[in-house]
Amino acid sequence: MKEAVKQNMRRPVVAGNWKMNLSRAEAAALVETIKPAVTLDESVEVVLCPPYTALSHVHDELRRSNIQVGAQNVFWERSGAFTGQVSVPMLRDAGCTYCIVGHSEARGSFGILETHEGSLSYFAETDRTVGYKVRALLDFGIIPIVCVGETESERGSGQTEGVIDKQLEGALGTLDEAEMGSVVVAYEPVWAIGTGKTCESEEANRICAFIREKIGEHADAESAEDLRVLYGGSVKPNNARELFAQSDIDGGLVGGASLDGPGFVHIIRAAQGNFLR
């Protein structure tokens, strides 16, 4: 019964997080590789999240497709003296309909540390600021993709559920049931991001089910059942189908693999196949 509800009610999402990669020309070339896989198929919602510099350009390239544009982060104030920040109205102006918030890298947690350890305080995201961003995005009709997940040490010490519960409360604790219907949650275990390690599909599904359960406690059973919960953390063409076949995983937030056009198309096909089977 649960699987039937998933197929009939929860349209899968496959979002590509390009992170700090690609010029506008490179972004346009990648878009041209991906578009044919999506244009004639609406069973899966595909979102591309380029860097800020390519947002408008990618949006223009996607005008005649079903692919949505998302940002990788946002600031919660609408305007003001916030040098270097980008507001929600600016994202709307660039054509965004989605935005990632709370990514572990924005929180200063990396699967593989690619910056100096002494610079980690620069990445200052907190559970509270994620909540501010979610509220600002919903006020302008942009769908937040809220990232939650534990580090390797937190998992090793049995804190996974507690960490995720706290992250969910900070991000979504002020939302009512109607607002909850406009949110996507992505479970991204930090230890699996960019490391090549992937959470076993059954364990990933268990945590996604836990997320759904917690949303049910905050809102109601219907909101929890309708919530789209994605998995992220080394999603690749060779593991996507198994992950997406799980009852509580409704697609993926894909990092490095989304930069390879044919590989990302394969991941989209995996989601389409699991939705239609």
Q: How many CB atoms lie within 10 A of CB 174?
A: 12
Which member of 45, 105, 150, 188 is catalytic? 188
Please pick, among 59, 103, 105, 150, the residue that the annotation labels catalytic.
Answer: 103
The answer to whether residue 188 is catalytic is yes
Residue 228's closest CA among 1, 9, 41?
Answer: 9
Who's near 242: CB < 8 A, 6+ residues apart?
201
- Buried b / exposed e along 41-61 (16+ C-beta atoms within 10 A): eeebbbbbbbbeebbbbbbeb
How far apart CA 261 and CA 244 sit, in angstroms, is 19
Which residue blocks in the chain are alpha helix, DSSP H? 2-9, 24-34, 55-61, 88-93, 104-107, 127-139, 152-156, 160-172, 177-180, 201-218, 221-226, 240-244, 261-276
Label residue 82 exposed, middle or buried (CB < 10 Å: 0-12, 13-18, 19+). Answer: exposed
Residue 85's contacts (CB-CB under 8 Å, 6 or more residues apart) are 75, 77
DSSP letter string over 174-229?
A: T--HHHHTT-EEEE--GGGSSSS----HHHHHHHHHHHHHHHHHHS-HHHHHH-EE
User: How far is 24 from 220, CA to CA, in rounded Å?
Assistant: 43
Cβ count within 10 A of residue 275: 18
> Residues with catalytic annotation?
103, 188
